[in-house]
Structure 1
């Protein structure tokens, strides 16, 4: 990634297509920079004007005494292409192209124009933001290379939050919400088509600013993994939380993203795992993107996720406790000392258990919050507080409430969120920098995000994070038959069922001597058939005396299907307490992906899976298994014994290592079922009884 600082502090900016009308696209950047005190040189370019918005205008770039650091391209179509080419020729460092109608349309002409601009930029080393870009804004330096109308509707205020978005609207909307909440924004960057400078590159650039304490990202596609991994790495080093909103979670959303920016939509479950592994919180809506912003700006970091709830309403206490349960936030079990102190501070009829209902006594005793919160602050089990005031107004000393809450936050490292539905009352708290939500569900969700995100960040710091993006195995692929697949699984360290491959019924007696089980499984083997049970090619619980006949039947079925026959597998009968599965594949963007999940015949119709990105640890694999719905029964229920989850996790780790080995050339792999055996003294095993592997032909040979 090259230095992009000239976009933030350019010594000079040319606006090509400059307008005297400050409300037009070619006029707004000039207006904003004049208003924000931009100290560099401004060059409006317009052949039909001598002066624009009070400053000298120029007919073209060649009329300037210098090559500007940055050029804003506010003309469209072929004119935009010609101006970009000329910018590259005269030595401009970077262009911001606001025009649309290029690669995002899928039109051949638009794609050809993009290529022409990129070629010109590559020859000179010029960098391009856009096209189809709303522009970049640095409110600290006054470099407003943007035409966003929100900067007029919500006047800028410098702050510690950076927004980088592939969409103009999803840059403006978070900006507007943050400013409406009274929060300052330092950077508001909307990149557009990302044909050269990417949102990830700009994110790394803003993270170099030591004043940035929160980065908000909006992504419509991820076509190159390493820049986003670099964002995460730099953010972790700078101790800056990153919250990302990515469009395209649904099939319709993926199509819309492609038509908007031409972005590559990737499998959303893999995106989730990648972001989580790198300590990036994935928001699910614009509201979620900004909801917890004030909490992130705190200098102190949360110490845990146990919360205390305080309100003058019993109903709010109940509803907030319900919301906490749904979000998985535990309520602190208050110490005996804390409860004794609360008993002394509160009316006799108030609750001193968590949630704490101070009752309507708050109306006559305005000191109650000021008494209760410090007591909770001294309880080492309280990591955060939720304070609810459903009704207030005349007769309530709201100013004192706000003063006491603000003092508590200032004196402790414990974050507080308020539940205040009345806008006039909420304003009093917001003016003191306290985060306020209109209802308990939103308050708990915002607090949960903040607390869980910091736990995510600490896990990302602790693990060895691989940048990912491994190259997909090249060349043609071959599908191994089941015998070959099981052999490869055994080779990479995944336990497999005892088995023998025979070519005819004459080989059965020798095979039976090598197998100990009294009951056996007999399966036809052919790389041309993956769903054998549908053709009657799987027989289970076969008596040893019936194996010869069953083998002959398998060969007859294979011959009847007209497929290449690789033989018949005779395997020991393994019955697990539960059935799991393992899978793996190469994602075109994220590289190798490993899947753990519930196995059996319903794996496709009722999927219960979690994904892992290699390399991952045994602990991470076990945690992923623990998140499955089936996990509730793996430890044993109603007298049933537990299964060996550790063996499953170990097999997943071995598979992850194998997917990173280019010599193996594994493209896809499926183990279903993986028999999970009863754990005796903690161990029992996990055994693959069926498997399909697709490898690169070069590796297979």
Structure 2
């Protein structure tokens, strides 16, 4: 037994606010509750009615013949907290509240927790459990293998309806609403041993305890239950991130995508995309790679499909000669036996071609998925005498997919015909839009990959090197973490002449205002200072303009074939520390070329981040330049990720730029922001 079992298969249910009025929530909850009356006792509470739906209604919870396991509230906002207090006082373990507009959520939460009860909602659309035959929600559900967990009841219902239209039913539906007590992470964890659930659709607008959510998503992945996530970017996380410089380079969706990669979930953009991907994932073998073989009975449709596949990151690769020879033997002389394959009318002359050609392509040495695009699915509708033959081909495609353990997907110009129904029954997903079909294949491929993982744990460490004020302090903190800087000295406030302080450094040197972030904007950095006179003049100018603060004199990095890279880290409000790499220098914001993952990260993850950058070719030699020391750059990324993960007093780190050359990596500017009023700055 778990704390949420009462929301799966309660022995008794009461609906408070039950009514015969079909326009009210109380009617939908009452009607749904009655649908499971052969599994449990059902009670209605309505102080102004003696019967509801032909059954006795009671004036209050206290007058019920028993204490129900689960009470669903469909009452005005002002009545909800008193009603919950009464239920808790009776010892009701499970509470569901669809009510919106609660004025004092804190008071409602206290009422729930006073007696150890659990609450789903308020401001939700209800819940449904197929194996438990429990229906307490607006709408109707078709039983199936897809669980839907949604912060928005309406979005969740849309996902369920779109999935049902594609032949995929719902195993469990939970609209978590305001999550005053039971949250999405707990509901997801409860699905791990929910036998009917084979995949999960998740819609969230906020993430709360990100660590608990990640644990639940990872457990679902381990249980073989893929998770498709729909979310929005205008979240609290986005607003919080935008307050920092590193946050300005990233978005809330970057962090969500990193969280998904860590645990093997995949984010989609719309409810339709989620439903499309779910029906493919639930009906076919995994899409283990990016290679897709396309078969079309129109050259134009094949070309459109090929372009769409490439845009979605799929590979329309050349076919091996042996496969082309087999196709040439089967198809007319005018057919194209490349990829995409153009049937050149062979399908309409012999419908079995629609199964025979995919049979030549459904080979793991050739492709990872086969997509059939065009008129198939319409023959029986338009020429009834061909229905039996077309249905037989549909079943043959299903057998092919099962025997070869490879997804076969059909884009058909027909939507609801006997043949498309045959295809779906045979385990062949059908789509009326080729982009939807190929996007579902691409999404399924992303789900089949191994999760990145969350990096090795970093034990919290104390401030052996404290978070201090200034670029010099940032250098000391990051240097202790393993980041290498050029040699430098600090020039204390009030120093008359910096030359004597910097006597041990090799020219040329750089003069930096220690306390300012983004020095370029304040003309607070002077480079290429080759002699004492130049250093002295630059110092006197800055003191005159900026004041007698602390400065840093640093040896200037003049190595050839340097690539400038941004390495940064910050804390996300929900998911905690993240690490960022990107194109560096003063144009970092303009380039917007970044990769982000959860911190700490492994060396393998750091390398994968660097490979994702558009600027990645610069690291490996570009137009005659020598490749740089990527291994040294990886060291920096890992060190920064472990620093932010292990130091709770560090809120943000930014190294921009890290100058990477063939002989190593040097950080030449740094920004560190601490908590509790500590703000260490430096940067260009």
Answer whether TM exceeds 0.5 for this pair. Answer: yes
Deviation string 1:93-112 (CA, Å, 9 cap, x unpaired) is: 0111111112xxxxxxx1x3
Q: Give, in whole Å, the separation in 1 of the partners of 2:575 and 2:295.
A: 45
> Residue 186 of structure 1 corresponds to which residue in structure 2?
171
Counterpart of 1:39 in structure 2 is 39
Q: What residue number does 2:429 align with?
A: 435
Corresponding residue for 2:527?
540
1: CA distance between counterparts of 2:50 and 2:238? 47
User: Take 2:392 and 2:575, find their aligned partners in 1: how far apart are those partners?
Assistant: 53
1:261 counterpart residue number: none
Given that residues 385 and 417 in structure 1 are in contact (C-alpha distance below 8 angstroms), is that contact kept between their aligned partners in structure 2?
yes
Per the TM alignment, residue 195 of structure 1 is displaced from its structure 2 partner at its CA by 0.6
Matched, 1:412 2:399: no
CA deviation profile, 1:492-539 (whole Å, cap 9, x unmatched): 111212223344476635744443xxx423213332x22333333322
1:330-409 correspondence to structure 2 within 5 Å: 330-390=315-375, 392-393=378-379, 394=382, 397-409=389-401
Corresponding residue number in structure 1 for 2:128: 137
Work out the CA distance in 1 between the residues paired with 2:457 and 2:186. 15
Q: Give, in angstroms, the shift of residue 162 of structure 1.
A: 0.5
**Is the CA contact (8 Å cut-off) linking 2:261 and 2:451 kept in structure 1?**
no
What count of residue pairs does the alignment treat as equivalent?
657
More displaced 10-residue stretch of structure 1: 686-695 or 169-178:
686-695
The alignment status of 1:451 with 2:434, answered yes or no, reads no
- In structure 2, the CA distance between the partners of 1:513 and 1:629, relative to structure 1 (3 Å rule), is same
Q: 2:117 aligns with which of 113, 122, 126?
A: 126
Confirm or deny: 8 A CA contact 2:512 2:526 kept in the other structure.
Answer: no
- Matched-pair contact (CA < 8 Å) for 1:525–1:569: no
2:295 to 305, 310, 316: 310
Q: Give the distance between the partners of 2:665 and 2:183, measured in 1 at CA.
A: 45
In 2, Cα distance between equivalents of 1:560 and 1:358: 76
**Following the alignment from structure 1 to structure 2, what is the Cα–Cα distance between the partners of residues 632 and 162?**
42
- Residue 700 of structure 1 deviates from its aligned partner by 9.7
Q: How does 1:24-423 map to 2 (within 5 A)?
A: 24-102=24-102, 110=103, 112=104, 114-146=105-137, 148=138, 150-151=139-140, 156-249=141-234, 267-298=252-283, 300-390=285-375, 392-393=378-379, 394=382, 397-423=389-415
The residue aligned with 2:664 is: 685
C-alpha distance in 1 between matches for 2:197 and 2:210: 23
Query: Could you tell me which of 499, 512, 525 is aligned with 1:524?
Result: 512
Q: Is residue 362–residue 368 contact of structure 1 (8 Å, CA) maintained in 2?
A: yes
Offset of residue 198 of structure 1: 0.8
Give the deviation of 1:415 after TM superposition: 0.4
- The residue aligned with 1:491 is 480
Q: Partners in 1 of 2:4 and 2:676 — Cα distance? A: 43
**Contact 1:249–1:268 (CA under 8 A) maintained in structure 2:** no
Matches of 2:643 and 2:179 in 1, distance apart?
34
SS of the aligned residue for 1:651 comes to helix
Q: Following the alignment from structure 1 to structure 2, what is the Cα–Cα distance between the partners of residues 251 and 359?
A: 54
Corresponding residue of 1:258: none
Shift of 1:124: 0.6
CA distance, structure 2, for counterparts of residue 99 and residue 231 of structure 1: 27
Give 1:559 shift: 5.0
Q: Is the 8 A contact 2:489 2:501 kept in 1?
A: no
Could you tell me how far 1:633 is from its partner in structure 2? 3.2
Matched, 1:569 2:545: no
Identify the residue that residue 247 of structure 2 maps to in structure 1: none
Post-superposition shift, 1:668?
1.7
Distance 1:620 1:134, change over 3 A: same
Normalised to the residue count of structure 2, the TM-score between the two structures is: 0.89
Is 399-408 or 684-693 further displaced after alignment? Answer: 399-408
Task: Find the aligned partners of 1:51 and 1:471 in 2 and give their Cα distance.
Answer: 61
Alignment correspondent of 1:481: 470
Q: Compute the TM-score of the two structures, normalised by the length of structure 1.
A: 0.87
Deviations 1:206-230 (A, max 9, x none): 2321221110011011121122112
Matched-pair contact (CA < 8 Å) for 2:363–2:404: no
CA-based RMSD: 3.0
Equivalent residue number for residue 589 of structure 2? 604
Please state how far the C-alpha of 1:159 moved relative to its aligned partner. Answer: 1.0
1:671 to 640, 655, 658: 655
Q: Deviations over 1:55-100 (max 9, x none)?
A: 2221211112321111111111221111100001000001111111
| Distance (Å, rounded) in 1 between the aligned partners of 2:27 and 2:456 | 45
Counterpart in the other structure of 1:638: 623
Inter-partner Cα distance in structure 2 for 1:72 and 1:534: 60
Deviations 1:126-181 (A, max 9, x none): 011111111111132221122x1x31xxxx32111100111110111111111122
Q: CA deviation at 1:23?
A: 4.8
Q: Secondary structure at the match of 2:197?
A: coil
For the 8 Å contact 1:386–1:417, the answer to whether it is kept is yes
Q: What secondary structure does 2:371 align onto?
A: strand
Distance 1:557 1:379 in 2: 67
- In structure 2, relative to structure 1, the CA distance for the partners of 1:299 and 1:289 (3 Å cut) is closer
For 2:603, the equivalent position in structure 1 comes to 618
- How far apart, CA to CA, are the structure 2 residues paired with 1:23 and 1:473? 60
Question: SS state of the match for residue 508, structure 1?
Answer: coil
Q: 1:698 Cα shift? A: 9.6
Q: Give me the whole-angstrom Cα distance separating, in 2, the residues matched to 1:567 and 1:600.
A: 21
Question: Structure 1's 480 and 602: CA in aligned 2 closer, same or farther, altered over 3 A?
Answer: same
Q: How does 1:494-509 map to 2 (within 5 A)?
A: 494-503=483-492, 504=495, 508=499
Q: Is contact 1:22-1:31 (8 Å) kept? A: no
TM-aligned CA distance change 1:299 to 1:371, over 3 Å: closer
Closer/same/farther in 2, CA of residues 625 and 364 from structure 1, 3 Å limit: same
The Cα shift of 1:310 comes to 1.0
Could you say what secondary structure the match of 1:228 adopts? helix
- Give the unaligned 5+ runs of structure 2: 241-250
CA distance in 1 between partners of 2:457 and 2:43 (Å): 42
What's the CA shift string for 1:435-471, capped at 9, x where partnerless?
Answer: 122232221111101112211xx234xx356799x99
1:36: Cα distance to partner?
4.7
Is contact 2:475–2:485 with CA below 8 Å preserved after alignment? Answer: yes
Alignment match of 2:535 (pick from 544, 547, 550): 550
Partner of 1:657: 642
**Shift in Å, 1:249:** 4.1
1:580 corresponding residue in structure 2: 565
CA distance change for structure 1 residues 373 and 186 in 2, over 3 Å: closer, same or farther? Answer: same
CA contact (8 A) 1:33 1:142 kept: no
